[in-house]
């Protein structure tokens, strides 16, 4: 069964995402993938897809699209209006879509991102085992634009028989567990006290690569430059201005600024809007 997904309105940033491409960091390729992998897995289960199927990740302003064949869609993530043609739908439910009907996802009322799955999944050509768009390296399909079309795969199963699911709420304040290292010794002891005892604010200057914070600058104990070394998901790098930067799914695999620590779980940042308060705590605190 062939079919296509026509992008009528791409919104601020809509990308194709799946569960990413792990295992290639030694070649300079980050994992990428959905910023909230569980939300995309849920959307796929709702429409009867394997959890690893590719869907869409939208940012703040939603999107509008048309299916050229009958199928099912599910939207997870931020609270937003969803419509299939003239019929209202809900976030977190499988929705039946007739051939040619327009699916509209409105702007996020709270939170920042939505994940949309279509029965059969997005069947763009995989790159290194994944269909994900990596906005830093350019691997995978480019960010979507109005008028783009995407191929759909064959449906693998029936939509899930559920009425509603519970999503992850958008945080008013985000508490992130941080493990110090490998370069915490490059910082003054007072810097570590600031890091754990003061609040930071999520900057509007951020994307899928990283989330910038504003707040108390972290004073360095070691001057000079650091040779580039490996960067992982959740690494908290501190540039010359002393303001922490948390790396997300499309992070580089190497960097030259010292990493003061690594956040255990960055999923909450997928829905955190600019202005959100961010606090760090130790893994046991």
CATH number of the domain residue 222 falls in: 2.40.100.10
Q: Same domain for 100 and 39?
A: yes
Domain boundary pick from 96, 116, 151: 151
Q: Which parts of the chain sit beneath pLDDT 50?
A: 285
Q: Taking the chain, what is the end-to-end CA distance rounded to the nearest angstrom?
A: 53
Q: How far is residue 30's CA from residue 264's CA, in Å, rounded to a whole number?
A: 17
Kindly report, residue by residue over 239-277, the tens digit of the pLDDT: 999 999 999 999 999 999 999 999 999 999 999 999 999
214 domain residue, yes or no: yes
For residues 264 and 177, the answer to whether their CB atoms sit within 8 Å is yes
Q: Same domain for 147 and 188?
A: no
Range of the domain at 245: 173-281
Q: Same domain for 97 and 221?
A: no
Kindly report, residue by residue over 97-135, the tens digit of the pLDDT: 999 999 999 999 999 999 999 999 999 999 999 999 999
Query: pTM higher than 0.85, yes or no?
Result: yes
For residues 132 and 3, the answer to whether their CB atoms sit within 8 Å is no
Q: Residue 225: what pLDDT? A: 83
Q: How far is residue 1's CA from residue 156's CA, in Å, rounded to a whole number?
A: 11
Q: Residue 38: what pLDDT? A: 96
Q: Residue 163: what pLDDT? A: 65
159 domain residue, yes or no: no
Number of domains in the chain: 2
Q: Same domain for 194 and 115?
A: no
Q: Same domain for 200 and 111?
A: no
158 domain residue, yes or no: no
Q: Residue 232: what pLDDT? A: 97
168 domain residue, yes or no: no
Q: Residue 62: what pLDDT? A: 98
161 domain residue, yes or no: no
């Amino acid at each position: 069964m062939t079919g296509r997904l026509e992008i009528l309105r791409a919104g601020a940033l809509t990308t194709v995402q799946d569960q990413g491409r792990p295992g290639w960091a030694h070649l300079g390729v980050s994992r990428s993938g959905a910023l909230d992998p569980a939300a995309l897995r849920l959307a796929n289960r709702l429409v009867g897809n394997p959890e690893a199927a590719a869907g869409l990740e939208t940012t703040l302003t939603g999107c509008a699209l048309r299916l050229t064949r009958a199928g099912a869609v599910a939207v997870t993530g931020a609270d937003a209006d969803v419509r299939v043609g003239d019929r209202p739908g809900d976030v977190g439910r499988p929705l039946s879509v007739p051939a040619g009907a327009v699916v509209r996802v409105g702007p996020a009322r709270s939170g920042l991102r939505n994940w949309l799955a279509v029965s059969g999944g997005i069947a763009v050509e995989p790159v290194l085992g994944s269909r994900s768009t990596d906005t830093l390296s350019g691997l995978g399909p480019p960010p979507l634009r109005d008028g783009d079309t995407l191929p759909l795969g064959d449906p693998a199963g029936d939509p899930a028989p559920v009425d509603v699911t519970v999503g992850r709420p958008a945080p008013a304040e985000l508490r992130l567990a941080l493990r110090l290292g490998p370069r915490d010794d490059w910082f003054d002891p007072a810097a570590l006290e600031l890091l754990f005892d003061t609040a930071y604010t999520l900057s509007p200057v951020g994307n899928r690569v990283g989330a910038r914070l504003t707040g108390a600058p972290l004073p360095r104990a070691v001057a000079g430059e650091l040779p580039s070394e490996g960067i992982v998901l959740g690494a908290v790098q501190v540039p010359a201005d002393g303001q922490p930067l948390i790396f997300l799914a499309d992070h580089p695999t190497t960097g030259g600024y010292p990493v003061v620590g690594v956040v255990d779980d960055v999923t909450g940042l997928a829905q955190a809007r600019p202005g959100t308060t961010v606090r760090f705590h130790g893994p046991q605190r």
